[in-house]
């Protein structure tokens, strides 16, 4: 990762860790080191995501990013997963046949 992304990622990561620490102190929650590490990774993803988006609109931003193939791969996976999930939710689930015919409500009989 280039310094153009490393420095903003580190700064944002530290801010997120400080935010998490303050919330832990305020609520009496035990500080979790795994959350701290994950926050720094998430900060890196946020910064790289901003550069990826900016690269579409500004050629200068696209030239600054290199070595972020993993983020492009993860972005592709995210778009695929959201699209597939949306299609399944919108088109497949509503048209799914009932698997059990006993689920049907019987008609009332006249006595």
**Domain of residue 12, residue span:** 3-67
In total, the chain counts a number of residues equal to: 111
Distance from first CA to last CA of the chain, Å, rounded? 79
> Total structural domains in the chain?
1
Integer Cα distance of 98 and 95 in angstroms: 9
Q: What is the pLDDT of residues 20-36, one digit of tens each?
A: 999 999 999 999 999 99
For residue 78, what pLDDT is reported?
85
Does residue 74 belong to any structural domain of this protein?
no
Question: Is residue 99 domain-resident?
Answer: no
How much is the mean pLDDT over the chain? 83
Q: Could you give the angle at the alpha carbon of 37 between the alpha carbons of 49 and 9, nearest 5°?
A: 35
Average pLDDT over residues 12-21: 95
Residue 46: partners with Cβ closer than 8 Å, 6 or more residues away = 9, 12
Q: Is residue 27 part of a domain?
A: yes
In a domain, 50, yes or no: yes
- Does the residue 25 lie in any domain? yes
Residue 83 forms part of a structural domain: no
Report yes or no on 82 lying in a domain.
no
The pTM for the full model equals 0.65
Residue 45 scores a pLDDT above 70: yes
Higher pLDDT, 3 or 40: 40
In a domain, 76, yes or no: no
Q: How much is the pLDDT for 104?
A: 55
pLDDT digits (tens, 9 = 90+) for 62-96: 777 777 777 788 888 888 888 889 888 888 888 88
């Amino acid at each position: 990762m280039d310094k153009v992304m490393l420095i903003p990622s580190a700064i944002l990561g530290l801010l997120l860790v400080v935010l998490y620490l303050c919330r832990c102190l305020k609520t009496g929650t035990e500080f979790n080191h795994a959350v701290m590490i994950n926050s720094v990774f998430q900060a890196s993803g946020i910064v790289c995501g901003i550069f990826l988006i900016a690269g579409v609109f500004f050629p200068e931003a696209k030239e600054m990013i290199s070595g972020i193939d993993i983020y492009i791969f993860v972005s592709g996976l995210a778009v695929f997963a959201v699209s597939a999930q949306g299609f399944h939710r919108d088109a497949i689930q509503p048209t799914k046949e009932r698997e059990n015919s006993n689920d049907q409500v019987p008609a009332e009989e006249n006595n």
